[in-house]
């Protein structure tokens, strides 16, 4: 494509080192859409005839069909997806094909393709996040009114509804949808028309191209447009944060599926055995998803590092943007899908949850609140109950077994009703503030999510 100035072919090593068609062929259909819109603008500018435009569109459509059915012959020596398609078009339709690259550079072309691709990909990923949210809501519904210990420092802290714990992840995933949608919005700007870096002496109607491709606006600085990959960083960042959420969800799941917790049973279809230990049932999906989060972080760091210190405008370094972006989209998409499937088939062990939630220490704070209601300052109440906990530990009894006499000795504000206080269900029912886990609040939030997700 540039042989005019050169007297030697590129070395075989350069070809192999520099080619990107092995991975950027994923942009092919968006590249074709971009070329069709560009050709329409060439027609409007009077640079090609209507007949030529039709030939170009027909040729590109035929190439798209060949690509879809896997018949297109990709050639590494043509370096990238753009030159492969352009060469195939010219081969197919002759002279008009050679006019398509008028007033265009691969620099504005590749930026356009990637933005178009990302717009579609974020839509698909958002769909997959929604499917996982639905699976979590369904699992929350299946937990009914089951109570489990809530943890801080991974130590039993206070009782919560299992549904409340799961809905925490539904909230997180909703913020992820927002971030992915933001990344899509940021990529919704047309770079085409920026040329290699300084536009072209042949000015095309850029808003026509933008309209045809569904972009909401056109870039306002040609040098920025060909070198900007902020949108890709934002996409990778959204993927990394979503991955972080999945890894936390997976960690909880791994704990819940362990014999120590035993709260959740994963289906045989979503666990693996050990080749050595016949008793093992391992939560590999959750472990893999947790592990793959490392890749999602790496991809973000990889692109940020590639971009760091790059002078304006286009530099070939920018070709390194695509593999991390593709990998994050694939990795996150696959994790979301398989986790949704895994949670859809998971079953609660209500007995194990109930046994764990029966631990009276979980509601020790309620005794302090009891004393506070009787006007004891909280700090003092905290100390009184702390001493009662120490007493129960020393005697090897549970808090519920501490006698009324001992209670009264600790604080004369205690009455017989204090003993009824140590009940997880009662404790939960009293947690009525917005965002707190009273069964009423949780049911309302569940209903909210079911309605909201039914629409997506």
Residues that bind ligand ARG (CB under 6 A): 20, 24, 80, 106-107, 110, 316, 318-319
User: For residues 148 and 159, is the Cβ–Cβ distance under 8 A?
Assistant: yes
Any idea what DSSP says for residue 260? Answer: T
Any idea what DSSP says for residue 155? Answer: E
Task: Using the minimum distance from each CB to ligand ARG, give the nearer residue, 24 or 252.
Answer: 24
Q: Where does residue 181 rank: exposed (0-12), middle (13-18), buried (19+ CB within 10 A)?
A: middle
User: For residues 230 and 129, is the Cβ–Cβ distance under 8 A?
Assistant: no
3-state secondary structure (DSSP) of residue 265: strand
Distance of alpha carbon 134 from the chain centroid: 15
- Least separation in angstroms between CB 294 and ligand ARG: 25
User: For residues 364 and 156, is the Cβ–Cβ distance under 8 A?
Assistant: no
Active site residue 82: no
Q: How is 343-362 classified by DSSP, letter by letter?
A: HHT-EE-HHHHHHHHT-GGG
- Least separation in angstroms between CB 196 and ligand ARG: 7
Task: Using the minimum distance from each CB to ligand ARG, give the nearer residue, 306 or 427.
Answer: 306
Quote the tokens at residue 380: 């003092």
Task: Using the minimum distance from each CB to ligand ARG, give the nearer residue, 176 or 228.
Answer: 228
Task: Using the minimum distance from each CB to ligand ARG, give the nearer residue, 24 or 327.
Answer: 24
Distance of alpha carbon 442 from the chain centroid: 25
Active site residue 274: yes
Helices (H), 308-377: 322-344, 350-357, 364-373
Q: Which of 22, 216, 267, 274 is catalytic?
A: 274
Residue 147's H or E segment, with its range, is: strand 147-152
Reference 207, options 223, 219, 198; nearest CA is 219
Rounded distance between C-alpha atoms, residue 359 and residue 423, angstroms: 9
For 151, list phi and psi in degrees, rounded to 5.
Answer: -120, 145
Q: Which residues make beta-bridge pairs with 160? A: 148
Q: Which residues make beta-bridge pairs with 327? A: none
- Least separation in angstroms between CB 305 and ligand ARG: 17
Quote the tokens at residue 311: 């002078």
Rounded distance between C-alpha atoms, residue 103 and residue 85, angstroms: 17
Task: Using the minimum distance from each CB to ligand ARG, give the nearer residue, 41 or 318.
Answer: 318
Rounded distance between C-alpha atoms, residue 169 and residue 167, angstroms: 5
Task: Using the minimum distance from each CB to ligand ARG, give the nearer residue, 76 or 406.
Answer: 76
Any idea what DSSP says for residue 282? Answer: B
Q: Find the length of the chain.
A: 456
- Least separation in angstroms between CB 321 and ligand ARG: 7
Task: Using the minimum distance from each CB to ligand ARG, give the nearer residue, 43 or 104.
Answer: 104
Catalytic residues: 153, 274
């Amino acid at each position: 494509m540039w042989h005019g100035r050169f007297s030697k072919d590129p070395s075989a090593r350069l070809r192999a080192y520099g080619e990107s068609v092995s991975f950027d062929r994923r942009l092919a259909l968006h590249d074709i859409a971009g070329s069709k819109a560009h050709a329409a603008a060439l027609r409007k500018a009077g640079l090609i005839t209507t007949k030529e435009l039709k030939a170009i569109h027909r040729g590109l459509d035929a190439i798209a069909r060949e690509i879809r059915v896997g018949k297109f012959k990709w050639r590494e020596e043509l370096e990238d997806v753009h030159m492969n398609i352009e060469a195939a078009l010219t081969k197919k339709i002759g002279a008009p094909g050679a006019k398509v690259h008028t007033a265009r550079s691969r620099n504005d072309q590749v930026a356009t393709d990637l933005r178009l691709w990302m717009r579609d990909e974020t839509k698909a990923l958002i769909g997959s996040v929604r499917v996982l949210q639905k699976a979590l809501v369904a699992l929350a519904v299946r937990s009914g009114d089951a109570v489990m210990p809530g943890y801080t420092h991974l130590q039993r802290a206070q009782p919560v509804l299992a549904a409340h714990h799961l809905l925490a992840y539904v909230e997180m995933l909703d913020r992820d949808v927002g971030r992915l949608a933001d990344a899509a919005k940021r990529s919704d700007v047309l770079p085409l028309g920026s040329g290699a870096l300084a536009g072209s002496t042949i000015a095309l109607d850029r808003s026509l191209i933008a309209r045809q491709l569904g972009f909401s606006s056109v870039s306002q600085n040609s040098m920025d447009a060909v070198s900007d990959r902020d949108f890709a960083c934002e996409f990778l960042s959204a993927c990394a944060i979503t991955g972080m959420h999945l890894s936390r969800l997976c960690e909880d799941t791994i704990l819940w599926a362990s014999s120590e917790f035993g709260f959740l049973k994963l289906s045989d279809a979503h666990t693996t055995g050990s080749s050595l230990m016949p008793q093992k049932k391992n939560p590999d999906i959750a472990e893999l998803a947790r592990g793959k989060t490392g890749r999602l972080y790496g991809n973000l760091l990889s692109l940020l590092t590639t971009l760091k210190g790059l002078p304006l405008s286009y530099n070939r370094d920018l070709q390194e943007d695509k593999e991390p972006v593709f990998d994050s989209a694939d990795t996150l998409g696959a994790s979301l899908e398989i986790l949704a499937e895994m949670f859809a088939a998971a079953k609660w062990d209500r007995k194990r949850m109930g046994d764990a939630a029966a631990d009276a220490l979980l509601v020790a704070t309620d005794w302090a609140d009891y004393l506070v209601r009787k006007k004891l300052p909280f700090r003092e109440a905290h100390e009184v109950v702390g001493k009662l906990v120490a007493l129960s530990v020393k005697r090897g009894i549970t808090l519920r077994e501490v006698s009324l006499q001992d209670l009264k000795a600790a604080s004369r504000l205690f009455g017989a009703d204090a003993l009824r206080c140590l009940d997880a269900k009662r404790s939960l029912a009293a947690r009525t503030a917005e965002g707190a886990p009273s069964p009423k609040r949780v049911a309302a939030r569940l209903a909210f999510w079911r309605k909201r997700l039914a629409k997506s």
